[in-house]
Amino acid sequence: MESGNRFVSVDEHHIDPKWLIDPKQLFVGPRIGEGAHAKVYEGKYKNQNVAIKIVHRGETPEEKAKREGRFMREVAMLSRVPHKNLVKFLGACKEPVMVVVTELLLGGSLRKYLLNMRPRSLEPGVAVGFALDIARAMECLHSHGIIHRDLKPENLLLTADQRTVKLVDLGLAREETLTEMMTAETGTYRWMAPELYSTVTLRHGEKKHYNHKVDVYSFAIVLWELLHNRLPFEGMSNLQAAYAAAFKNMRPSAENLPEELALLLTSCWKEDPNSRPNFSQIVQMLLHYLSTLSPPKPVVPSHVFRSENVVLPPESPGTSSLMVVRDDMGNTPKSNMENKPMGFFFCFNQCC
């Protein structure tokens, strides 16, 4: 993958020994998330509470090779990007199955946090503070030549005290055909930069040339959502929103916002990617705006997740793949089989 003049160098076949986990010390508990190609479980590794992502290998030889390549690229990127606003990466293994182990975040996804706040909006200081966390994570990724390409509230998790946001899921942080990405992540359209798609690309699955500025556009849509606590392109389907942004140059309204924030939004979602600021500039703009505010009052949503799990320290690299899923009472759903941790091999055979 390329970002400017930087490239991500990946060993397609081997995990660095210092990140290789021992599956015999991995215990898997309840499932907390699921995607097209992986499932995520709450578990323990060496007595630490962790999130365990188990990647499906696929059925055909071509599918297996593709998923293994994607897995190895993700692991390589996770292990080389340290930042407090990226979820902590603990290790991985390829055998007997492909596994990524990360810290377990207990604050839920930014999507759930916003839904629990509605119809109220976040205090400006809280919204911009969260945006600053996101911008700093993206600044770090881009400095390492990594384009995330799937920046949206579902891929942003909160710490247990719900004061810090961390970026997760580097599963799409690589160059691949656009149709593969859209098939796996249809909900992404609403936040996706217009240059990532066209009717020709969708039809033929051709590669589309773009750069790291696609993440800046997505950041603007997330920031708008933080400031308004409303779904961007409200009243439109995901496809309608994508069409309106790409072919009608439509954007959410930046009216009734402070001038600095309106300017930031409109510059980040400009049609010409080269006219958008980079994340270093965005961080400085957000810091300047925060300096003009008086300290915000703490805002806590109606549902606060509770757990006996210990939150791990944030100063480490990595990312997780899916958000923690909790029920309305803040509990992790458990089946009878999932009431207590079990050995890794047993759990994989039973629930994957």
Phi, psi of 199 (to 5 degrees): -65, -35
Please state the rounded mean pLDDT for residues 90-115: 94
Instruction: Provide the H-helix boundaries in 79-212.
Output: 110-117, 124-143, 178-184, 199-204
Say which range, 25-39, 106-120, 332-346, has the weakest mean pLDDT.
332-346
Confidence band of 4 (pLDDT split at 50, 70, 90): very low
Q: How far apart are CA 313 and CA 328, in angstroms?
A: 27
Beta bridge partner(s), residue 165:
158
Determine contact, residues 39/31, Cβ cutoff 8 Å.
yes
DSSP string, 132-148: HHHHHHHHHHHHTT---
Which CATH code fits 110-291?
1.10.510.10
The HSE-up count of residue 340 (CA atoms within 13 Å, CB side) is 0
Strand 38-45 vs strand 48-55: parallel, antiparallel, or unpaired?
antiparallel
Task: Indicate the DSSP class of residue 89.
Answer: E
Q: Which position has the higher pLDDT, 197 or 212?
A: 212
Please state the domain extents for the chain. Answer: 9-106+306-351, 110-291
Determine contact, residues 52/40, Cβ cutoff 8 Å.
yes
First to last CA, the chain: 31
Cα torsion at 287, 269, 131, 8 (round to 10°)? -100
Q: Is the dihedral of CA 92, 73, 95, 43 positive or negative?
A: positive
The model's pTM: 0.75
According to CATH, the superfamily of the domain at 9-106+306-351 is Phosphorylase Kinase; domain 1 (3.30.200.20)
Sheet of 26-34, strand order: 89-93, 98-103, 48-55, 38-45, 26-34, 342-343
Sequence-separated (6 or more) residues with CB below 8 Å from residue 1: 7, 8, 145, 146, 147, 173, 174, 175
Q: How far apart are CA 220 and CA 82, in angstroms?
A: 24
pLDDT in tens, 47-79: 899 999 999 988 899 999 988 988 998 898 889
Q: How far apart are CA 235 and CA 38, in angstroms?
A: 31
Q: How far apart are CA 42 and CA 33, in angstroms?
A: 9
What local confidence, expressed as pLDDT, does residue 77 receive? Answer: 86
Q: For this structure, is 328 an active site residue?
A: no
Classify 49 as helix, strand or coil.
strand
pLDDT in tens, 300-322: 665 544 443 333 333 333 333 33
Sequence-separated (6 or more) residues with CB below 8 Å from residue 2: 145, 175, 211
pLDDT in tens, 200-248: 444 444 455 678 899 999 999 999 999 999 999 999 998 899 889 988 9
- Active-site hit among 16, 22, 150, 215: 150
